[in-house]
Amino acid sequence: MNQKLTRDQLAGMIDHTFLKAYATHQDLDKLCDEASTNHFAMVAINSSPVRYCKEKLSGTGVHVGAAISFPLGQTTIEAKAFETRKAIEDGADEIDYVLNIGELKMGNLSYIRKEMETIVGICREHHVICKVIFENCYLTSEEIQKAAEIAREVKPDFIKTSTGFGTSGAKVEDVRLMKETVGDLVKVKAAGGIRDLKTCLAMIEAGATRIGTSSGIEICRQLEEMEA
Protein backbone atom coordinates (compact mmCIF):
# COMPACT_ATOMS: atom_id res chain seq x y z
CA MET A 1 0.00 0.00 0.00
CA ASN A 2 2.78 2.44 0.92
CA GLN A 3 4.27 2.10 -2.57
CA LYS A 4 1.00 3.14 -4.22
CA LEU A 5 -0.12 5.91 -1.88
CA THR A 6 1.50 9.31 -2.31
CA ARG A 7 1.97 11.80 0.49
CA ASP A 8 -0.71 14.09 -0.96
CA GLN A 9 -3.16 11.22 -1.35
CA LEU A 10 -2.62 10.18 2.25
CA ALA A 11 -2.98 13.75 3.54
CA GLY A 12 -6.25 14.03 1.64
CA MET A 13 -7.62 11.11 3.69
CA ILE A 14 -6.80 12.60 7.09
CA ASP A 15 -9.20 14.39 9.41
CA HIS A 16 -6.87 16.52 11.57
CA THR A 17 -8.28 16.30 15.07
CA PHE A 18 -8.45 18.45 18.19
CA LEU A 19 -11.44 17.53 20.36
CA LYS A 20 -10.15 18.35 23.83
CA ALA A 21 -12.37 20.10 26.36
CA TYR A 22 -9.75 22.83 26.85
CA ALA A 23 -9.46 23.93 23.20
CA THR A 24 -8.52 27.62 22.97
CA HIS A 25 -8.30 29.89 19.94
CA GLN A 26 -4.54 29.34 20.04
CA ASP A 27 -5.06 25.57 19.78
CA LEU A 28 -7.57 26.00 16.96
CA ASP A 29 -5.31 28.43 15.07
CA LYS A 30 -2.54 25.84 15.19
CA LEU A 31 -4.91 23.07 14.09
CA CYS A 32 -6.23 25.06 11.13
CA ASP A 33 -2.78 26.24 10.05
CA GLU A 34 -1.46 22.67 10.13
CA ALA A 35 -4.46 21.35 8.21
CA SER A 36 -4.09 24.01 5.53
CA THR A 37 -0.32 23.61 5.20
CA ASN A 38 -0.54 19.83 4.96
CA HIS A 39 -3.68 19.75 2.77
CA PHE A 40 -5.61 17.54 5.14
CA ALA A 41 -9.23 16.72 4.32
CA MET A 42 -10.82 18.23 7.41
CA VAL A 43 -10.37 19.61 10.89
CA ALA A 44 -12.36 17.60 13.43
CA ILE A 45 -13.57 19.82 16.27
CA ASN A 46 -16.42 20.13 18.73
CA SER A 47 -19.41 22.10 17.49
CA SER A 48 -18.88 25.30 19.49
CA PRO A 49 -15.87 26.65 17.51
CA VAL A 50 -17.18 25.73 14.03
CA ARG A 51 -17.74 29.34 12.98
CA TYR A 52 -14.28 30.35 14.18
CA CYS A 53 -12.54 27.55 12.26
CA LYS A 54 -14.68 28.13 9.17
CA GLU A 55 -13.38 31.70 8.99
CA LYS A 56 -9.81 30.57 9.61
CA LEU A 57 -9.98 28.00 6.80
CA SER A 58 -11.82 30.14 4.26
CA GLY A 59 -10.39 29.59 0.79
CA THR A 60 -8.11 26.71 1.80
CA GLY A 61 -10.30 23.82 0.65
CA VAL A 62 -10.04 22.18 4.08
CA HIS A 63 -13.41 21.13 5.46
CA VAL A 64 -14.68 21.91 8.94
CA GLY A 65 -16.14 18.87 10.69
CA ALA A 66 -18.36 19.16 13.75
CA ALA A 67 -18.57 16.39 16.35
CA ILE A 68 -22.17 16.02 17.52
CA SER A 69 -23.26 14.62 20.93
CA PHE A 70 -19.57 14.02 21.52
CA PRO A 71 -18.16 11.82 22.93
CA LEU A 72 -20.93 9.86 24.69
CA GLY A 73 -23.86 9.99 22.25
CA GLN A 74 -26.22 10.13 25.22
CA THR A 75 -28.47 12.98 24.10
CA THR A 76 -31.89 12.76 22.50
CA ILE A 77 -32.48 12.62 18.78
CA GLU A 78 -34.00 16.09 19.03
CA ALA A 79 -30.90 17.47 20.77
CA LYS A 80 -28.61 15.88 18.19
CA ALA A 81 -30.75 17.32 15.39
CA PHE A 82 -30.59 20.81 16.91
CA GLU A 83 -26.82 20.63 17.36
CA THR A 84 -26.41 19.35 13.80
CA ARG A 85 -28.48 22.19 12.34
CA LYS A 86 -26.61 24.80 14.38
CA ALA A 87 -23.23 23.43 13.33
CA ILE A 88 -24.26 23.51 9.68
CA GLU A 89 -25.59 27.05 10.11
CA ASP A 90 -22.19 28.01 11.53
CA GLY A 91 -20.43 26.56 8.49
CA ALA A 92 -19.78 22.87 9.11
CA ASP A 93 -19.01 20.94 5.93
CA GLU A 94 -19.15 17.56 7.66
CA ILE A 95 -20.97 16.11 10.67
CA ASP A 96 -19.64 13.27 12.83
CA TYR A 97 -22.33 12.23 15.32
CA VAL A 98 -22.16 9.59 18.03
CA LEU A 99 -25.05 7.16 17.89
CA ASN A 100 -26.88 6.18 21.06
CA ILE A 101 -24.72 3.32 22.23
CA GLY A 102 -27.05 2.27 25.03
CA GLU A 103 -30.04 1.97 22.70
CA LEU A 104 -27.97 -0.14 20.33
CA LYS A 105 -26.81 -2.44 23.15
CA MET A 106 -30.43 -2.87 24.26
CA GLY A 107 -31.31 -3.99 20.73
CA ASN A 108 -33.49 -0.96 20.02
CA LEU A 109 -32.65 -0.93 16.34
CA SER A 110 -35.72 1.12 15.41
CA TYR A 111 -34.33 3.93 17.58
CA ILE A 112 -30.90 3.69 15.93
CA ARG A 113 -32.56 3.79 12.49
CA LYS A 114 -34.72 6.80 13.38
CA GLU A 115 -31.73 8.64 14.82
CA MET A 116 -29.63 7.91 11.75
CA GLU A 117 -32.39 8.84 9.33
CA THR A 118 -32.90 12.13 11.18
CA ILE A 119 -29.27 13.26 11.18
CA VAL A 120 -28.53 11.96 7.68
CA GLY A 121 -31.68 13.70 6.42
CA ILE A 122 -30.55 17.06 7.82
CA CYS A 123 -27.12 16.63 6.29
CA ARG A 124 -28.53 15.68 2.89
CA GLU A 125 -30.85 18.69 2.96
CA HIS A 126 -27.84 20.96 3.35
CA HIS A 127 -25.43 18.94 1.15
CA VAL A 128 -23.18 18.18 4.11
CA ILE A 129 -21.20 14.95 4.61
CA CYS A 130 -22.51 12.75 7.44
CA LYS A 131 -20.50 10.25 9.48
CA VAL A 132 -21.96 7.95 12.14
CA ILE A 133 -19.67 7.10 15.06
CA PHE A 134 -20.27 3.63 16.48
CA GLU A 135 -17.75 3.59 19.40
CA ASN A 136 -16.87 -0.03 18.76
CA CYS A 137 -14.99 -0.57 22.04
CA TYR A 138 -18.37 -0.88 23.78
CA LEU A 139 -19.96 -3.09 21.13
CA THR A 140 -19.90 -6.76 20.21
CA SER A 141 -19.18 -7.80 16.64
CA GLU A 142 -22.87 -8.58 16.24
CA GLU A 143 -23.85 -5.08 17.41
CA ILE A 144 -21.32 -3.50 15.06
CA GLN A 145 -22.74 -5.51 12.19
CA LYS A 146 -26.34 -4.60 13.05
CA ALA A 147 -25.52 -0.88 13.14
CA ALA A 148 -23.67 -1.22 9.85
CA GLU A 149 -26.65 -3.02 8.29
CA ILE A 150 -28.86 -0.07 9.22
CA ALA A 151 -26.28 2.28 7.71
CA ARG A 152 -26.24 0.20 4.54
CA GLU A 153 -29.93 1.03 4.14
CA VAL A 154 -29.97 4.63 5.41
CA LYS A 155 -26.72 5.46 3.58
CA PRO A 156 -24.79 8.05 5.58
CA ASP A 157 -21.57 8.96 3.80
CA PHE A 158 -19.41 7.20 6.38
CA ILE A 159 -19.58 4.93 9.38
CA LYS A 160 -16.80 5.51 11.89
CA THR A 161 -15.10 3.25 14.42
CA SER A 162 -14.52 5.44 17.45
CA THR A 163 -14.46 8.81 19.15
CA GLY A 164 -10.95 8.35 20.48
CA PHE A 165 -12.37 8.90 23.98
CA GLY A 166 -13.52 5.34 24.68
CA THR A 167 -11.61 2.45 26.21
CA SER A 168 -9.90 1.70 22.90
CA GLY A 169 -9.78 3.06 19.37
CA ALA A 170 -9.87 1.69 15.86
CA LYS A 171 -9.17 -1.98 15.25
CA VAL A 172 -8.37 -3.50 11.88
CA GLU A 173 -10.85 -6.33 12.37
CA ASP A 174 -13.65 -3.85 13.11
CA VAL A 175 -12.87 -1.77 10.03
CA ARG A 176 -12.91 -4.94 7.94
CA LEU A 177 -16.25 -6.05 9.41
CA MET A 178 -17.82 -2.64 8.87
CA LYS A 179 -16.60 -2.47 5.27
CA GLU A 180 -17.70 -6.00 4.47
CA THR A 181 -21.17 -5.19 5.81
CA VAL A 182 -21.76 -1.89 3.97
CA GLY A 183 -19.83 -2.75 0.80
CA ASP A 184 -19.53 0.17 -1.60
CA LEU A 185 -22.73 1.85 -0.39
CA VAL A 186 -21.09 3.56 2.60
CA LYS A 187 -17.49 4.52 3.33
CA VAL A 188 -15.61 3.74 6.53
CA LYS A 189 -13.62 6.12 8.73
CA ALA A 190 -11.10 4.73 11.20
CA ALA A 191 -10.32 6.88 14.23
CA GLY A 192 -8.84 6.49 17.68
CA GLY A 193 -5.28 5.47 18.51
CA ILE A 194 -3.91 5.84 14.96
CA ARG A 195 -0.52 7.40 15.62
CA ASP A 196 1.89 5.92 13.06
CA LEU A 197 2.08 5.06 9.38
CA LYS A 198 1.98 1.30 9.88
CA THR A 199 -1.33 1.48 11.78
CA CYS A 200 -2.74 4.00 9.32
CA LEU A 201 -1.94 1.84 6.31
CA ALA A 202 -3.41 -1.22 8.00
CA MET A 203 -6.71 0.64 8.43
CA ILE A 204 -6.69 1.71 4.80
CA GLU A 205 -5.90 -1.83 3.69
CA ALA A 206 -8.89 -3.06 5.73
CA GLY A 207 -11.20 -0.64 3.93
CA ALA A 208 -11.02 2.79 5.57
CA THR A 209 -10.93 5.81 3.26
CA ARG A 210 -10.79 8.43 6.02
CA ILE A 211 -8.46 8.49 9.01
CA GLY A 212 -9.19 10.51 12.11
CA THR A 213 -6.01 11.34 13.98
CA SER A 214 -4.10 14.05 15.79
CA SER A 215 -0.86 12.52 14.45
CA GLY A 216 -1.39 13.25 10.76
CA ILE A 217 1.78 15.32 10.40
CA GLU A 218 3.92 12.56 11.86
CA ILE A 219 2.19 9.91 9.76
CA CYS A 220 2.81 11.88 6.58
CA ARG A 221 6.43 12.47 7.61
CA GLN A 222 6.93 8.73 8.00
CA LEU A 223 5.56 8.15 4.50
CA GLU A 224 7.90 10.79 3.09
CA GLU A 225 10.85 9.03 4.74
CA MET A 226 9.83 5.75 3.14
CA GLU A 227 9.54 7.42 -0.26
CA ALA A 228 12.95 9.14 0.06
For residue 1, is it within any domain?
A: no
Cβ burial, residue 98 (10 Å; 0-12/13-18/19+)? buried
For residue 101, is it within any domain?
A: yes
Domain that holds residue 91: 7-227
For residue 156, is it within any domain?
A: yes
Does residue 1 have a pLDDT over 80? no
Give how many domains the chain has, as a whole number. Answer: 1
State the pLDDT confidence band at 3, using cuts at 50, 70 and 90.
Answer: low
What is the tens place of the pLDDT at every residue in 150-193? 999 999 999 999 999 999 999 999 999 999 999 999 999 999 99
For residue 141, is it within any domain?
A: yes
CATH number at residue 203: 3.20.20.70
For residue 168, is it within any domain?
A: yes
What is the set of active-site residues?
96, 160, 189
b/e burial code for range 123-162 (CB count within 10 A of at least 16 → b):
beeeebbbbbbbbbbbbeeebbebbbebbeebebbbbbbb
- Measured between alpha carbons, how far is 177 from 126 in angstroms, rounded to an integer? 30
For residue 200, is it within any domain?
A: yes
Q: Is the pTM of this model over 0.85?
A: yes
For residue 52, is it within any domain?
A: yes
For residue 2, is it within any domain?
A: no
Average pLDDT over residues 27-50: 98
